[in-house]
Amino acid sequence: MFKSGFIVIIGKPNVGKSTLINRIIGEKVAITTHKPQTTRNRITGIKNLENAQLIFVDTPGIHRAKTILNRYLVDTARDAFTDADLILLLVDAGKDPDDDDRFILESLHDMPLPVILVINKIDLVKKESLLPLIESYRKRYSFREIIPLSALKGFSINRLIECAVDLLPEGPQYFHADLFTDLSERFLAAEMIREKLTLLTQKEIPYSAAVMVDQFQEDEERNLIRIQATINVEKDSQKGILIGKRGLMLKEIGRRARLDMETFFNAKIYLELYVRVRRNWTRDTKWLREFGYGRGKSSS
Please report the DSSP string for 212-249 in residue order.
Answer: EEEEEEEETTTTEEEEEEEEEES-HHHHHHHH-GGGHH
In a domain, residue 111? The reply is yes
Mean of per-residue pLDDT scores for the chain = 89
Question: Which residue, 139, 167, 195, sits at the end of a domain?
Answer: 167
Verify that 32 and 70 share a domain, yes or no: yes
Mean of pLDDT values over 145-157: 96
Q: Which amino acid is located at 240 in the chain? A: G
In a domain, residue 94? The reply is yes
Mean of pLDDT values over 93-115: 87
In a domain, residue 136? The reply is yes
In a domain, residue 300? The reply is no
Verify that 106 and 154 share a domain, yes or no: yes
Return the sign of the alpha-carbon dihedral for residues 164, 148, 81, 298. negative
Verify that 160 and 198 share a domain, yes or no: no
Q: What are phi and psi of 67, to 5 degrees?
A: -85, 165
Verify that 80 and 151 share a domain, yes or no: yes
Domain with 285, as residue range(s), is 185-290
Verify that 37 and 123 share a domain, yes or no: yes
CATH of residue 249's domain is 3.30.300.20
Verify that 70 and 208 share a domain, yes or no: no
- Gap between the Cα atoms of 111 and 59, Å rounded: 17
pLDDT, position 38: 73
Can you give the pTM of this predicted structure?
A: 0.82
pLDDT, position 297: 39
Verify that 55 and 112 share a domain, yes or no: yes
Verify that 110 and 237 share a domain, yes or no: no
| Distances in whole angstroms, Cα of residue 147 to Cα of each of 140, 200, 252 | 16, 34, 40
Verify that 252 and 147 share a domain, yes or no: no
- Gap between the Cα atoms of 116 and 150, Å rounded: 15
Verify that 162 and 202 share a domain, yes or no: no
Verify that 158 and 275 share a domain, yes or no: no
Q: What is the pLDDT of residues 123-140, one digit of tens each?
A: 999 989 999 999 999 999
In the chain, the percentage of residues whose pLDDT exceeds 70 is 91
CATH of residue 67's domain is 3.40.50.300
Verify that 9 and 146 share a domain, yes or no: yes
- Number of independent structural domains in the chain: 2
